Amino acid sequence: MNVLEVRDLATHFFTRDGVVRAVDGMSFDLAAEETLGIVGESGCGKSVTALSILRLIAPETGRIVGGSVRFEGRELTALSDKEMRAIRGHKISMIFQEPMTSLNPVLTIGTQIAENVVRHWGLPWRAARDRAHEMLALVKLSDPRRRLDEYPHQLSGGMRQRVMIAIALSCDPAVLIADEPTTALDVTIQAQILDLMLELKEKLGAAIIMITHDLGVVAETAQRVIVMYAGRKVEEASAEQLFARPMHPYTRGLMRAIPQLDADAEVAGRRPRLHEIPGIVPALTQPITGCAFAPRCRFATDRCHAERPRLTAPEADHLVACWEAQRVLEAAV
């Protein structure tokens, strides 16, 4: 069963340089208790997709210009602000890259967790504080009783992210959106936080949308993965399929551009060249006709430049938006 269904979502920002088409027709489903990874480089629209689901786009800069977001059968884009507030942090919650800027520096940790529980569950403060204590123990913060009365600046980055997770999960959400939750953390702390998120997901049964630029992080956490480029979905598959048989030239390029940590990369003592994706991402201020990746793609034909590729499924449960998918598949990697 799907908890979340996004269809043709388009979010634009209105800047002095013109209209930025940050999300340009995104569709996907999120099944209950599933972990979906959304991966892509800076500016591909992965974070704006998340913010659009929660309707957190600042109205003075941009807005959702089209499409639909259905959560448990309700159309989120049509809700009033008040109705939306009852969903945020309750049914759908979100954690961000930099926990220090998302936590209130002048409130104690305990107050910030309890606040959410009081608002959404209507519990009295005393009971909400007990819930806060329970949550801090759940995210394995040492000495949770003492932490309740501490302030964010007294905690390390990894501990702050644990607190963010505690707040986000405090009202048993159906969906947790994690936007680069470990990007600001060191690799040993990242491993701890990812491990914790997966463990809690099992325990609490929330679905997770994991947004990241790091293919390693999606590979270790996600069951299904969406690859975004220039505001569009270019590929979607199970994590196993995506890494075993990437189909879109962009996905393939990305995978070959990362230095390999495990492979015996050096041939006869020489360092091999990394695969380069020529050029840079297109400016989103101009409408893109055809495939957004075409200018950087060695498989591109006239049709790719002229006509936007439809999503097709060359194999079961594997979607790709590429006119030349067959040729790409046949080409040696």
Is 5 near other proteins (CB under 8 A)? Answer: no
User: Given candidates 58, 106, 244, 316, which one binds other proteins under the rule CB under 8 A?
Assistant: 244
Residue span binding other proteins (CB under 8 A) among the ranges 15-23, 27-35, 106-114, 180-188? 180-188
User: Given candidates 271, 287, 302, 330, which one binds other proteins under the rule CB under 8 A?
Assistant: 271
Is 159 near other proteins (CB under 8 A)? Answer: yes
User: Given candidates 258, 306, 313, 331, which one binds other proteins under the rule CB under 8 A?
Assistant: 258
CB-wise, 53 or 227, nearer to other proteins? 227
Is 275 near other proteins (CB under 8 A)? Answer: yes
| Binding residues among 284-313 for other proteins as defined by CB under 8 A | none
Q: How far apart, in whole angstroms, are the C-alpha atoms of residue 50 and residue 38?
A: 10
Residue entry with tokens 């989103």: 284
How many residues make contact with other proteins (CB under 8 A)? 44
User: Given candidates 78, 86, 265, 331, which one binds other proteins under the rule CB under 8 A?
Assistant: 265
The C-alpha angle 223, 323, 9, rounded to 5 degrees, equals 55
Is 333 near other proteins (CB under 8 A)? Answer: no
* Nearest distance, CB of residue 318 and other proteins, angstroms: 15
User: Given candidates 56, 274, 313, 331, which one binds other proteins under the rule CB under 8 A?
Assistant: 274
User: Given candidates 280, 306, 313, 331, which one binds other proteins under the rule CB under 8 A?
Assistant: 280
Is 158 near other proteins (CB under 8 A)? Answer: yes
Token pair of 145 as six digits:
């009783």
Closest CA to 9 of 41, 39, 40, 54: 54
User: Given candidates 8, 186, 307, 317, which one binds other proteins under the rule CB under 8 A?
Assistant: 186
Is 80 near other proteins (CB under 8 A)? Answer: no
Is 135 near other proteins (CB under 8 A)? Answer: no
Sign for the CA dihedral angle at 128, 207, 180, 75 comes to negative
What residues does 62 pair with on adjacent strands? 13
What residues does 92 pair with on adjacent strands? 88, 175
CB-wise, 22 or 92, nearer to other proteins? 22
* Nearest distance, CB of residue 57 and other proteins, angstroms: 23
CB-wise, 166 or 254, nearer to other proteins? 254
Q: How far apart, in whole angstroms, are the C-alpha atoms of residue 6 and residue 26?
A: 7
Sign for the CA dihedral angle at 130, 136, 140, 144 comes to negative
Q: How far apart, in whole angstroms, are the C-alpha atoms of residue 160 and residue 96?
A: 11
Residue 274 is classified by DSSP as: P
End-to-end CA distance of the chain: 36
CB-wise, 58 or 267, nearer to other proteins? 267
User: Given candidates 260, 285, 286, 289, which one binds other proteins under the rule CB under 8 A?
Assistant: 260
Is 42 near other proteins (CB under 8 A)? Answer: yes
Is 205 within 8 Å of 175 (Cβ atoms)?
A: no
Is 254 near other proteins (CB under 8 A)? Answer: yes
Residue span binding other proteins (CB under 8 A) among the ranges 81-89, 111-119, 153-161, 317-325? 153-161
Q: How far apart, in whole angstroms, are the C-alpha atoms of residue 161 and residue 184?
A: 10
Cα 314–chain centre separation: 25
Listed in order, strand segments (DSSP E) in the chain are 2-15, 18-31, 35-39, 62-71, 74-75, 92-95, 175-179, 207-212, 224-229, 232-238, 311-315, 318-321
Where along the sequence are the contacts to other proteins (CB under 8 A)?
Answer: 41-42, 156, 158-159, 186-192, 194-195, 213-217, 219-220, 239-240, 243-244, 253-255, 257-262, 264-266, 271, 273-277, 280
